[in-house]
Chains A and B, each alone.
Chain A
Amino acid sequence: MSDKKPEKKKRLKTAEKLGKLMADYYTESAMVKAQKKPVAWLSSVAPVEVCYTMDVFPVYPENYGTMCAARKLSAEFCAAAEAKGFSTDLCSYALNNLGSIYLNKGPFMGQGLPEPDLLIATEHACSSMAKWWEELSRHFNVPLYIVDSALPIGEDPSPRHINYFADQLRELMEFVEEHTGNKFDMDKFKEVLGYSDEASKLFLEIGALRKTVPSPISPIEIFTNMFPIVTLAGKKEAVEFYNELYDEISELAKRKEAAVPNEKYRLLWDLFPIWYNLNLFKYIEEKGGVIVADVYATTFGGRVDISRPFEGLAERYVGNPLLSYGVQQKTELYKQMIKEYHVDGVIFHSNRSCRMASMGQYDVKQGIYEDLGIPGAIFESDFVDPRSYSDEQVKDVLDSFFEILESRG
């Protein structure tokens, strides 16, 4: 550590461990083809637990998209997908992924992701997902399983919604068995679910430590620490990691140590970070604003009732607030979070790549203001494709927002 420059040193002790978890995962991903281990590509909020149960290596093109964006590769990749006829208005996670495949390039040693033997995607994340993954299935000529949810946006899940999803999870296990030869084992499944649930519980608890004033963990730290819950849910390592992270953050919370100095305005963030410009959070912090609550990160946490493994796992995915809440429910959820996290204002990132999650933001903002008098700001951008990003426009919106916060004292 001593040879590192001080500004490179991470604030959290667990950062090193996180780095190791990520490095291990990507080292394995580079070797997995040589080891002849089956590889499945998963969409966001696809049940990764299925992979760990069935001894299949999971790969996340979306997670990878965030990295391509951070390493300034996404513009080139999106353009490569557009050259094949995909509209520039489509989701940049998809464009980035398809482009990196067409160019066979990526951030790791110049290479792309290990090729999939299987594809598993969720339909309820958005209606684009199935289309993007159908394209992957045609491109690689490998089987695709779409996990579908029948829960209408804005309604509470009924047993019929849970059963439909749970039955598909059972079918998905058979699908993986059929295409890999690996056998399903209920005990292994329960063990994986146990780890997944425990990691989720810890991750949610870590997020909730931000109720402390000042916040003991920064938004960049929260978003970077999502890696294990997204990628390693179901692994013991994720539980061990979040235990350590929880201890570290709760210690900071006890000592009232601020993650960000000068915490003046506590803010709620909706929804995606701008992956190529996480520095925007720094800009917010310079203005005295700290993101202390969000549903994006916590969406990937969610408890699982292990006594009913398939239904329990289905409940975790179907009732996901990010994917199933309508304007009214989201407004109520945010109002509750505003109270619990002592929030002064809400920032909404309207993500051009995600019509699904951006629709309704204006109404949620309005609802919160009407009911609690808490102001909000909305800006438009794209989470992965930097080509039309206007730093000035975004900062203009934020500047006027901080003026409003200032005037409220």
Chain B
Amino acid sequence: MIADFQERYAKRHELAREWKKEGKKIFGYFCGYAPEELIDAAGIIPVRILGSLDKVTLADSHLQSFICAFGRSCLDQGLKGTYNYLDGMVTSKTCDIMRNMPSIWSRNIEIPFVGYIGAPAKRTKAARECLIEEFKVLRSKLEEFTGKSIDDDSINQSIETYNESRKLLKELYEIRGEDNSPLSGSDFYHVVRAGFVTPKKEYNKMLSSLKRELVSSKSPRDGKVRFLVSGSTFEDVNILKMIEEVGGSIVADDLCIGSRYFWDLAEPASDPIRSLADRYQMRIACPCKHPSEERMERILDEVKKYRVEGVISIVQKYCDTHLFEYPYMKDVLEKNDIPFLYLETEDRMGEEGQFKTRVQAFIEMLR
């Protein structure tokens, strides 16, 4: 079953090109702050642009060596034509790399539509009102682009579909955290990632059948050390696999490609734009948002709830906001007597080999 999710992701470009042939429109988005529901309500399929482990060749002449591997890889794939099926992109103001990406992308890669949301970084009421305005502007830009109006009902329907998806992912997240759970952390990563590139209704069916399949099975995890994994985007799922192969068990997460993406549901409301703005503003914060306490509190809650024995942070090199929060996170965890291991990735193939010794030593220490 997990293989289906893996295959979905592996064939994502092929599938997208097929949708294209069927006359469908496809938009790309970079991060979990893009309001996919609005794109979906406009009758466009949103797909997340993610990094890849392939060698970067073309982006080097556009980006400095000190730009993160994720940003470099995304642009590189764009320049190579990997995403030439996109009819547009929707992006949101988050970290410095994401803030600058649309202008570099659109100068070098043909893209008929760019919707850039000036998402505030704060969680205040004024910031919410501002985000509502930004979403309204995106809605009218999308209407103009498709020539069709996007009514509240269709946004509400999209919200429902997306909420369904998130509920299922949360259920699977819980299953992963159970004792002797049949769902591993690396499997779950495959599940989440497939959702970025699969139309949500179809994805929900996949999630439901996975859930049914998992309910009746168990996989012994005795003697494995229970970890929460936190961090930025990273592409190499082998890091997670390695953690589980050397005696760890991933039972909870605070990952960009993980719970941070799906944790929060949009509350149904009479004004769906407001409901979406609430959701995207108040979702578990990426470190590029302000303030940071709530994310740390949630990590502590998850540690308690899932009887986590150690936290492993996997952070992309040059990811400023994650790097800035590392000493703070270390401090919070130390004060709560939670062992912590920090791994810095550059999304290079085979990197997990270097991390193995450190994870093994960490597990030895915890046993």
A interface residue numbers (CB < 8 A to B):
84-87, 89-91, 94, 123, 126-128, 130-132, 134-135, 138, 146, 148-155, 160-161, 163-164, 167-168, 171, 326-328, 350, 352, 355-356, 358-363, 367, 380
Chain A positions within 8 Å of B120 at CB level: 148, 150, 164
| Cα separation A175 to B129 with both chains bound (whole Å) | 20
Give Cα A25–Cα B120 distance, bound, in whole angstroms.
34
Query: Of the 9-residue stretches B27-35, B91-99, B188-196, which lies at the interface with chain A?
Result: B91-99
- A-B pairs, top 3 by smallest CB distance, nearest first, are A326-B103, A131-B324, A85-B327
Q: Are A146 and B122 in contact (CB under 8 A)?
A: yes
- Least Cβ distance of B59 to chain A in Å? 10
Which residue on B lies nearest to A88, using beta carbons?
A: B323
Q: Does B354 contact A (CB under 8 A)?
A: no
Taking a contact as CB atoms under 8 Å apart, the answer to whether A355 and B318 are in contact is yes
Report if B338 contacts A (CB, 8 A): no
- The residue on A at minimum CB distance from B325 is A131
**Inter-subunit contact A355/B66 (CB<8 Å):** yes
A-chain residues with CB within 8 Å of residue B325 when the two chains form the complex = 131
Task: Determine if B145 is an interface residue (Cβ-Cβ < 8 Å).
Answer: no
Q: Which of B99, B107, B321 contacts A363 (CB 8 A)?
A: B107
Q: A138-B328, A163-B130 are in contact. List 9 more A-B contacts (CB 8 A).
A: A89-B320, A90-B323, A146-B290, A150-B134, A151-B118, A164-B129, A167-B126, A356-B100, A358-B66
Size class of B's contact patch?
35 or more
Whether A128 and B103, one on each chain, are in contact in the complex, defined by CB atoms closer than 8 angstroms, is no
Whether B241 sits at the interface, judged by CB under 8 Å, is: no
Residue on A nearest B65 in the bound complex, by CB = A380
Contacts of B318 in A (CB 8 A): 89, 355
Q: B326 at the A/B interface (Cβ < 8 Å)?
A: yes
Q: Which residue of the partner chain, among B97, B118, B292, contacts A152 with CB atoms under 8 Å?
A: B118
Judge whether B149 is part of the interface by a CB distance below 8 angstroms.
no
Residues in B neighbouring A154, C-beta threshold 8 A: 102-103, 116
In the complex, the answer to whether B122 meets A148 with C-beta atoms within 8 Å is yes
Q: Which residues of B contact A164 (CB under 8 A)?
A: 120, 126-127, 129-130
CB atoms of A326 and B317 under 8 A apart = no
Give the Cβ gap from B296 to chain A, nearest Cβ, in Å: 11
List residues of chain A with CB within 8 A of the CB of B270: none
Interface centre among B94, B100, B292 (most CB of A within 10 A): B100
With A128-B324, A150-B120 in contact, do A367 and B64 touch (Cβ < 8 Å)? no
Do A90 and B324 touch across chains, with their CB atoms under 8 A apart? yes
Query: Does B243 touch A at the CB level, under 8 Å?
Result: no
- A378 to B: closest C-beta gap in Å: 8
Do B96 and A363 touch across chains, with their CB atoms under 8 A apart?
Answer: no
- CB-CB under 8 A from B129, the residues of chain A are 164
Instruction: Assess whether B130 is in contact with A150, with CB atoms less than 8 Å apart.
Output: yes
**Residue contacts A-B, CB under 8 angstroms, 23 given:** A85-B326, A85-B330, A89-B318, A90-B324, A123-B121, A123-B290, A127-B321, A128-B96, A128-B321, A152-B117, A154-B116, A160-B134, A164-B127, A327-B103, A327-B107, A355-B96, A356-B96, A358-B66, A359-B63, A359-B67, A359-B97, A363-B104, A367-B107
Min Cβ gap B277→A in Å is 12
CB distance from A250 to the nearest CB of B (A): 37
Q: Which residues of chain A come closer than 8 Å to B102, judged between CB atoms?
A: 152-154, 326
Q: Is the CB of B118 within 8 A of A155?
A: yes
Chain A, residue nearest B66 (CB): A352
Which chain B residues border A155 with CB–CB below 8 Å? 116, 118
When distances are taken between beta carbons in the complex, the residues of chain A under 8 Å from B321 are: 127-128, 131
A146 to B127, CA, bound (A): 12
Specify which chain A residues have a CB less than 8 angstroms from the CB of B118 in the assembled complex.
149-152, 155, 161
Q: Which of A87, A134, A327, A360 contacts B292 (CB 8 A)?
A: A134
Residues from chain A with a CB closer than 8 A to the CB of B116 are 152-155
Q: With a CB–CB cut-off of 8 A, which chain A residues contact B108?
A: 363
